[in-house]
Amino acid sequence: MTTRTATIRMPHKNSYTKKATLKDKFSIGEFVAFDSLKGIISIVLLITFLFLSGYTTYEVKAVADDIKKIETEYIKIKDENMGLKAKFSKATNDKELIQIGKRLGLRPPEKKQIITLSE
């Protein structure tokens, strides 16, 4: 008896379709994802997601700029309001009005000159 290794021979199945190479898989004309409905839907969803995320980023930045402008305008108006309140309180101060009247040569009104109007 001789010692020989046993080899099992399997018949080779011939494939009649072309094997995909890397060049074939990544070429635009025959991209693998375009072969199935799931692949097409995935690509459409990916493009939609990228578009929406870019648009959302743009809108968020636009709103942030608007808020910054409004805050700046609010601070200006607040400062102007404080100045106007100071001028108003100074103008309606009784002592200040009496001094201005004396400088202009005015006298306080008499009782008969004061007329009260009903609402």
Residue 91 confidence (pLDDT) above 90:
no
CB 16 within 8 A of CB 9: no
Residue 24 confidence (pLDDT) above 60:
no
For 106-119, the pLDDT digits (tens) are: 888 888 888 888 86
114: which 2 tokens?
Answer: 């004061």
* Percentage, residues of the chain above pLDDT 90: 39
For 32-63, the pLDDT digits (tens) are: 555 678 888 888 999 999 999 999 999 999 99
> 113 or 24, which is more confident?
113
pTM metric for this prediction: 0.47
Mean pLDDT score, 73-94: 92
How confident is the model at residue 58, as a pLDDT?
A: 96
Q: What is the rounded CA–CA span in Å between residue 63 and residue 75? A: 18
* Position 100 confidence tier, pLDDT thresholds 50, 70, 90: confident
39: which 2 tokens?
Answer: 């692949």
Q: What is the rounded CA–CA span in Å between residue 105 and residue 98? A: 10
